[in-house]
């Protein structure tokens, strides 16, 4: 009877343990809930393994659940993350591959997520929301080193082209010509020194002439001011003369309208008087008595009335 109770207790306890394990495996009350996000990397993910940590600013928030090549573009790798629910994954959140310590264990670091940014949602036609990525430090260093090596290779090629046999010969000839010029300058040192001294005196004389030209320029300036003042006075005199001519023109118009007709009549009367005086003078010259006794009538001619037979 006791053996039966012990056997039953063992069986019940084993069933409870198995049920608890199954409950925990299926997501029990103490199991965390996760949301799934996709990230697309354009670089190698060597060193990144399944269940590698996903950290948000250094805090573990999930795991890498799947790693596979993009079947449409094998240069890209699709990473599936399981991230704890409640972690603020925003539209500006960025995923970067990093390595931890000297061991080279790779993990994913999340950063960004401003307060004003909207939560990341799956786009139509996509199963998971897609987190943006940027190159890792090793990828950036590799790109920089590649560019540096490319430039060094180009520089080496240019140096080799400069140091070719033809350029070496030309450089030797140039150096020989420079040596010849140096010897020629050394031989003509005295002449060059004399020329430099003459040039210095010429510059000194030029400076003195320039200083004297300052006074001449000042005098020219004062003369120009005087000419300008004279021009202003002439302009004023011209304006006054114009006013005077306007007044004289008005008087002349008034003279032509009012005085000229009277003057013409006076000249006509003077002409008539002059003609009368000329006839009187001629008559007096022919018959001076007429001036005292008056004009005698002319005797009638033959056949006229009152004529004597």
pLDDT tens column, 163-187: 777 777 888 888 888 888 888 888 8
86 domain residue, yes or no: yes
Work out how many domains the chain is built from and give that number.
Answer: 1
80 domain residue, yes or no: yes
**Interatomic CA distance for residues 16 and 203, integer angstroms:** 114
Query: What domain range is 73 assigned to?
Result: 31-134
191 domain residue, yes or no: no
**Interatomic CA distance for residues 233 and 221, integer angstroms:** 18
Span 86-140, pLDDT tens digits: 888 999 999 999 887 666 678 999 988 788 889 889 888 888 999 999 888 888 8
**For residue 85, what are the CA distances in angstroms to 63, 106, 113, 261?**
13, 23, 15, 125
Residue with tokens 């084993």: 14
pTM: 0.44
SS3 for 119?
Answer: strand
84 domain residue, yes or no: yes
**Interatomic CA distance for residues 154 and 156, integer angstroms:** 5
64 domain residue, yes or no: yes
């Amino acid at each position: 009877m006791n053996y039966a109770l012990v056997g039953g207790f063992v069986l019940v306890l084993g069933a409870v343990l198995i049920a608890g394990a199954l409950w925990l495996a299926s997501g029990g009350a103490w199991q965390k809930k996760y949301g799934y996000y996709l990230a697309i990397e354009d670089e190698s993910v060597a060193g990144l393994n399944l269940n590698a940590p996903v950290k948000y600013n250094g805090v573990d928030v999930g795991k890498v659940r799947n790693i596979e090549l993009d079947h449409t573009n094998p240069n890209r790798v699709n990473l599936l993350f399981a991230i704890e629910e409640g972690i603020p994954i925003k539209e500006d959140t960025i995923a970067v591959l990093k390595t931890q310590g000297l061991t080279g264990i790779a993990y994913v670091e999340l950063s960004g997520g401003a307060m004003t940014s909207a939560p990341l949602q799956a786009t139509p036609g996509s199963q998971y929301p897609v987190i943006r990525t940027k190159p890792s430090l090793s990828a950036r260093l590799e790109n920089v080193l590649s560019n540096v090596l490319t430039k060094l290779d180009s520089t080496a090629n240019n140096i080799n082209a400069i140091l070719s046999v033809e350029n070496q010969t030309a450089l030797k000839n140039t150096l020989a010509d420079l040596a010849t010029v140096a010897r020629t300058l050394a031989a003509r040192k005295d002449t060059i020194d004399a020329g430099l001294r003459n040039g210095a005196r010429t510059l000194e004389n030029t400076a003195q002439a320039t200083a004297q030209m300052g006074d001449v320029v000042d005098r020219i300036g004062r003369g120009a001011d005087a000419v300008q003042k004279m021009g202003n006075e002439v302009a004023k005199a011209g304006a006054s003369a114009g006013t005077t001519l306007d007044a004289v023109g008005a008087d002349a118009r008034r003279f032509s309208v009012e005085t000229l007709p009277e003057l013409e009549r006076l000249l006509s009367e003077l002409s008539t008087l002059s003609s009368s005086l000329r006839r009187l003078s001629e008559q007096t010259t022919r018959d001076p008595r007429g001036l005292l006794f008056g004009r005698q009538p002319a005797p009638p001619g033959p056949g006229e009335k009152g004529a004597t037979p």
